[in-house]
Structure 1
Amino acid sequence: MGPRVATTVHYVEHGAGRPVVVLHGAGVDHREAEACFEPCFVGRAGFRRIYPDLPGMGRTAAPAELRGAADVLDVLLGFAAEIAGGGEYLLIGHSAGGYFAQAMAARAPTRVAGLALVCPLLPGVRDVPAHRVVTGSAELGDDVFRDYFVVHSPEMLERYERFVAPSAALVDQAALERLGAHWELPDEPGPAYSGPALVVAGRLDSVVGYAAAEDLAHRYPRACLAVVDDSGHALPHERPGLLRGLVADWLERVEGAA
């Protein structure tokens, strides 16, 4: 662990109760995670949902002292501990956010009451399928939309234009390149995270695939694994109803464990 860097993390929050820290992926900001995961808490009281901007994205700066993923991990661990008042919190991560969420659970397992990983970035990614559109026109939207989504519908394009595209202007590309040059985190010693876990992967995810995500079902003794057909890396947008059901089951298991 390197020296702690003082970084002010911007975030938004909703509700009251047990803290739930939700981490977005690379190249976006809290708005995408907020749009995808807030519906999972509709009608469910007792959870305080916290959506931070990761360093170098949104309104959270990435000072030069942040040299790689290990430094970002320290920032996120400090943020989560502060936001939860030193107590337990639930943790959700999508894509790169899922990578950091895994590391946070490994580093501070007694603080993480539940871990949910959706299309998580993983070391050792393998068998990544080629990008393939399953629904709609291959001419819809811009190149980023077409590469990200496998469902090309007006509804998905509207979600992309509202919750994904606007964050591009706020990304510190130089900072992401600096951090990305040292993105791999070392394995934490000790047993794997043993709390209630959820792993969701898109069968057509052409960014991280699903094969490496399946390994987590063996690594986490209390993991529920779902590999979802006809969905890619944008699974939280493309299969919101299914995601809501899976998260609901995970939250019930977390509450049962408490």
Structure 2
Amino acid sequence: MRTRVGDVEVHSVEHGSGRPVLVLHGGGVDHREAEACFEPALAGVPGLRRVYPDLPGTGRTPAPATLRSADDVVGVLLAFADAVAGSARYLLAGHSAGGYLALGMAARRPERVAGLALVCPLLTGVRDVPAHRVVTGTGTLGDDGFRGYFVVQTPGMLDRYERFVAPAAALVDHPALERIGERWELAPDPGQAYPGPVLVVAGRLDSTVGSAAATDLAGRHPHATLAVLDDAGHALPHEQPDLLRALLTEWLARAARAR
């Protein structure tokens, strides 16, 4: 599906019908990773319309020169959300950089967001980031991208990397992402308290963003559930799918009660 938002044509895929759930992927990949990781949990809950966009500069969504900061990207995503959700309040989830953008969306328009789920979110104030460490496997499988991303390095995880992560590399607009990345911090700071149901999930072994900043973030939200998962790194959605599914299911139940 393609949705025109100003001078950006946002590509997305969607499944199901009902309340919209927007799921934002991380940097350097496209909708396929988020779809592979979140769809097994979301598809089991009736009445959800799951929407997975390609962020600007990735997948099939271009990033024109008018996009020069993360704030510009959030503006595009808010307009995209309005276009696909209409007047309905929507649920919002994100992994890594997608989590930071989702946080910015909720900060700008909290009245439109029915619930917020952040998995290994990129945040300002990242600290105490551990060194990368393999917990399962010999550390010899796959390429450098796989070995630097996953802490669970099994043939099954390599298969997921080769199917859902690596293919996006050829579609990344690197100059555009570098341009936007020069102004990646959102203004105002999106760490302010969002009043709705929040889920924050972090990997204890996340050598990209760590877990300390995510713990700080959860403490600033009045209705947040925090889970720091052992034996999981930045690729937590792949490495701990059963725990992620349970946490998302509980988050959706809280959002339904809040409704």
Q: TM over 0.5, yes or no?
A: yes
What is the letter of the counterpart of residue 38 of structure 1? E
What is the letter of the counterpart of residue 103 of structure 1? G
Residues 29 and 191 of structure 1: CA distance in aligned 2, closer, same or farther (over 3 Å): closer
Structure 2: give runs of 5+ residues left out of the alignment. none
CA distance in 2, matches of 1:141, 1:44: 34
CA RMSD of aligned residues (A): 1.3
Alignment of 1:16-31 (within 5 A): 16-31=17-32
Alignment of 1:210-221 (within 5 A): 210-221=211-222
CA distance in 1, matches of 2:167, 2:21: 24
Q: What TM-score, normalized to structure 1?
A: 0.97
CA distance in 1, matches of 2:190, 2:230: 34
Structure 1: give runs of 5+ residues left out of the alignment. none
Q: What TM-score, normalized to structure 2?
A: 0.96
| Identity fraction in percent | 69
Give SS of 2:116's match: strand
Give SS of 2:58's match: coil
Residues 87 and 188 of structure 1: CA distance in aligned 2, closer, same or farther (over 3 Å): farther
Q: Which contiguous aligned blocks of 4+ residues in structure 1 show a shift greater than 4 angstroms?
A: 188-191
Q: Any conservation in 2 of the 1:150–1:230 contact (CA below 8 Å)?
A: yes
CA distance in 2, matches of 1:147, 1:183: 23
Give the aligned partner of residue 198 of structure 1: 199
Give the aligned partner of residue 72 of structure 1: 73
Q: Any conservation in 2 of the 1:107–1:188 contact (CA below 8 Å)?
A: no
CA distance in 1, matches of 2:191, 2:236: 32
Give SS of 2:206's match: coil
Give the aligned partner of residue 178 of structure 1: 179
Q: Any conservation in 1 of the 2:104–2:190 contact (CA below 8 Å)?
A: no
Give SS of 2:209's match: coil
Give the aligned partner of residue 35 of structure 2: 34
**How far 1:6 sits from its partner (Å)?**
2.1
Give the aligned partner of residue 231 of structure 1: 232
**How far 1:188 sits from its partner (Å)?**
5.0
Alignment of 1:65-214 (within 5 A): 65-188=66-189, 192-214=193-215
**Count of residues paired in the alignment:** 255
Give the aligned partner of residue 255 of structure 2: 254
Deviates more, 1:188-197 or 1:144-153: 188-197
CA distance in 1, matches of 2:199, 2:171: 30
